[in-house]
Amino acid sequence: MFADFANHWIIAGVSADFRAGKLYPMTVAGERIVLFRNATGILSALIDRCPHRGVALSLGKLHGGVVECPFHGWTFNGEGACLSVPWNPDAKCEKLSALALPVREAGGLAWLYTGFRPDAEPLPSESLSAPGVVLSAQSALWDIHWTRAMENMLDSPHLPFVHKATIGRFIAPFVHGRMDTDWIETPYGARIENRIEGRDRPARLDFRFPNTMELFIDPPGKLLRMLAICTPEKQGQTRLTIITLRDFARARLLNPVFRRMNRRIALEDQAILESSQPSEVPPAGEEKSVRTDKPTLAFRKLYFERIKGSRAEPYS
């Protein structure tokens, strides 16, 4: 299960967006999942497949934090335990469980584990614990392998060309100069620092393993950060989720303003990336690279060493 993306903590969304009394389906690396809050309000996740006849539990109903299958009415709690089987009061419910996945809520975000036996806890960004920060999320589906989308988020040289009308216009006058890029390993992944003609650029990038970029855009005296999460859905499809963090303009009525700008920038990337051949990043030696490709090559190395080929096996 979770082929080529197994056994990692990933961001599933903003915690507050998962409300009680509702089922939230999502797909990760080909696996259908349903998230919901159980009877005590704890966020839970099940493989979105009834163990009886394989239908999607997300098409069913949620009663008091208990999922009812839409086909035959079997019920399951947040741990996957079968609670009842209509017409079969003698059913051995302990042998009829659905598959549950580990979920955590930390830093205002919901975290999902793409496996069954985590050996560590998620590492939320320190930005999430800053005073007065509000979160706003949006997402879009791209027809591209998630590795191409992730590399794009770590790539600075493309900005004045793909984003010449938006975020790239500030460095466009310097494209004939020299850019130097550092990939500095950290406990959560890496920090990426760029210099143009020896001068540090104000914006900083963090790579948060395995599939998140954090962009630091802080205006003077304010906090403005962006998390870009590249999650594989089905083969050749990526769910790009952008979460904006800010400690100013905190009214929810202003969220659409930030979403419109993020969407405009993301669409500029999408049109280019979906033309990539092959869709999945190949080994480094199969494409020509230069010095300023250091971050994307470092990510590619991590992908082939620690992510590709991974699979998760449920408890027997």
pLDDT in tens, 81-123: 999 999 999 999 999 999 999 999 999 999 999 999 999 999 9
Q: How far apart are CA 21 and CA 212, in angstroms?
A: 29
Look at the chain and report how many structural domains it folds into. 2
Query: Is residue 239 included in any domain, yes or no?
Result: yes
**Full strand arrangement of the beta sheet holding 61-63:** 61-63, 66-68, 75-76, 82-84
State pTM to two decimals. 0.95
Range of the domain at 178: 128-307
Give the pLDDT band of residue 295 (cuts 50, 70, 90): very high
Which one of 84, 113, 142 terminates a domain?
113
Question: 61 with 191, same domain?
Answer: no
Terminal Cα-to-Cα distance of the chain (whole angstroms)? 14
Query: Is residue 121 included in any domain, yes or no?
Result: no
Question: 225 with 98, same domain?
Answer: no
Give the pLDDT score at 184: 97
Per-residue pLDDT averaged across 149-176, rounded?
92
Q: How far apart are CA 43 and CA 88, in angstroms?
A: 29
Burial of 16-39, coded b for 16+ CB within 10 Å and e otherwise, reads eebeeeebbebbbbebbbbbbbbe
Give the pLDDT score at 316: 54
Give the pLDDT band of residue 169 (cuts 50, 70, 90): confident
Structure tokens given for 187? 């406990």
The sign of the CA dihedral 276, 153, 10, 209 is positive
Question: 277 with 162, same domain?
Answer: yes
Q: How far apart are CA 130 and CA 164, in angstroms?
A: 32
Q: In whole numbers, what is the pLDDT of the chain averaged over residues?
A: 96
Question: 137 with 202, same domain?
Answer: yes
